[in-house]
Amino acid sequence: MKIIGVDIGGTNIDVVFFSDGKYRHIMTLRTENIDNICEKIQETVSIMDVDAVGIGVAAWLKSGSIIHAPNLPSPEAPLNLRDALDVPVFLDNDANCFAMFAHEILGHASLLAVTVGTGIGSGIIVNGEIYRGEGIAGEIGHWTTGRSSRSDTGKQENLRCRCGGKDHLECYFSGWALEQKYGKSVKDLMAENRNFIYETEGFDDFCRAIANAVMLLDPSAVVFGGRIGMQFDAKILENRIYCYLMRGFLPRIEVLKDEIAVAKGACILAASSML
């Protein structure tokens, strides 16, 4: 079976070709050019005689429809792509696709797969299967931090999230929030100071959120990825997250250093859906 996997993230779009058990990275585009992707994917599908396409998208989905995509410039583009192709197209949240790939290569029956890039997301694997809930399971980037009640100054922080909510984790630790605060991309900031990400005030909020998710889900492992998340040091994460957990229930902390993991997971999505 020949499959195209597409990762439509908040900053970049990656396209991967899968055949005979091997993945090949075809192209990377800027998400700001998302409206041009349909023609490129159509051409690739035709030339490579593709059987199906999987798409992982930074969006909240329900029954195959995009409900909200706060980090995309053109939320309807993934649906336009699905409608334009003459082969089966399967759509899922990008963090779910990351979780599928992490599950396949790491083998954990239960895991929490966390992506940190433009935004923050997570996919949940329970007994080898994705848990979606009603469509937004795992959206830890939109958990409230409680910053306003913890403020030493007494000021109400309550920053506005791109989704429209207030005081969400993404407001303090996502790629978009850090770039907005410091005026540079996280990539550039980490090039200047490799420990930058751990010194931000949002890092502790992030680790608390992961610990809370672990207490709720009790996964055997927490796997981190995404263009920012793949740069994390697993030992630093482990030391901080374990501070908030019970000693008898400490999951493995792993970092998956693969920029195209979501696109590969989208291939897995399409392949499993075709069975």
Rounded-to-integer distance, Cα 155 and Cα 149, Å: 9
93 and 141: one domain?
A: no
121 and 241: one domain?
A: yes
192 and 233: one domain?
A: yes
* Coil/strand/helix, residue 168: strand
Q: Give per-residue pLDDT as tens, 174-226.
A: 999 999 999 999 999 999 999 999 999 899 999 999 999 999 999 999 999 99
The token pair that represents 113 in the structure block: 């797969």
pTM confidence score: 0.93
Sign, Cα dihedral of 23, 29, 31, 36: negative
* CATH code assigned at 10: 3.30.420.40
Paired with 3 in beta bridges are 18, 52
204 belongs to a structural domain: yes
145 and 229: one domain?
A: yes
Cβ–Cβ under 8 Å, residues 268 and 7: no
* Count of the separate structural domains present in the chain: 2
82 and 115: one domain?
A: no
70 and 190: one domain?
A: no
* Coil/strand/helix, residue 66: strand
Residues 6+ apart with CB under 8 A from 41: 4, 6, 15, 53, 81, 85
| pLDDT higher than 90, residue 84 | no
- As a whole number, mean pLDDT of residues 47-62 equals 93
The predicted structure's pLDDT at residue 271:
96
63 and 179: one domain?
A: no
70 and 143: one domain?
A: no
Pairing between strand 52-57 and 252-255?
Answer: unpaired
193 and 230: one domain?
A: yes
225 and 127: one domain?
A: yes
136 and 74: one domain?
A: no
The token pair that represents 170 in the structure block: 């993404």
102 belongs to a structural domain: no
185 and 201: one domain?
A: yes
Cβ–Cβ under 8 Å, residues 167 and 158: yes
126 belongs to a structural domain: yes
Query: Structural domain of residue 183, as residue ranges?
Result: 108-255
Sheet order of strands, 89-93 included? 22-30, 12-19, 3-8, 52-57, 89-93
What average pLDDT does the chain have? 92
